[in-house]
Amino acid sequence: MTSWQDAVERTVTGLGYELVDTERSAGGLLRVYIDRVANDPNGEFVNVDDCEKVTRQLQHVLEVENCAYARLEVSSPGLDRPLKKPADYARFAGSAIELTLKLAFQGRKKYSGVLQLQPGEVGDGWRLVFNDGKTDQALDFSLDEVREARLVPVVDFKGRRAAAAKPAADAAAPGQEVDGGRER
């Protein structure tokens, strides 16, 4: 790692976040992706306040470390979060992922299924359980064989909307119409 990468990692982890990835472009853009540490009591997802907090601290640290950049962006890794480190695979075991292998296995490189620790393995043995259209299949792999792995985004707008609308509707007085928690 170069000194700017070390400075970024020390700062992000020191603030209690996980450093997912960094990107540096020729135009001077430094992009930093952060995530909450597993089982963080403050919530499941990174929010704007988290990004602002890390940005402010990184601006100071990068100036002190004399790391040149034109623009700094700090953001969450998104719903399709990449899995980079062994700890990422362990954290998201049981989740749906999309996996791309470096070399084709049985004529294909891309698979989508549920990530599992390979039975009897402790370290680098992983299994992807997927359905090939007929039956459930299992693909055993090691992290050395992976080109890219990402979480499959799970978006449930109806569940959030229904849960949020119910208390607002219950709180309305008889004869009042409620729209998104506001009286009309």
Asked which of 24-28, 121-125, 131-135 is least confident by mean pLDDT, the reply is: 121-125
CA–CA separation, 97 vs 151, rounded Å?
A: 4
> pLDDT value at position 93?
92
- Position 164 pLDDT exceeds 60: no
CA–CA separation, 68 vs 116, rounded Å?
A: 41
pTM given for the model: 0.75
Looking at the fold, whether 65 and 112 belong to one and the same domain comes out as no
Looking at the fold, whether 99 and 67 belong to one and the same domain comes out as no
Report pLDDT digits (tens) over 97-113. 999 999 999 899 999 99
Q: How many domains does the chain have?
A: 2
> pLDDT value at position 2?
61
Establish if 19 belongs to a structural domain.
Answer: yes
Under DSSP, the state recorded for 87 is: H
Looking at the fold, whether 10 and 69 belong to one and the same domain comes out as yes
- Position 166 pLDDT exceeds 70: no
Q: Which domain holds residue 127?
A: 86-151
Q: How many Å separate Cα 1 from the centre of its chain?
A: 22
CA–CA separation, 125 vs 117, rounded Å?
A: 6
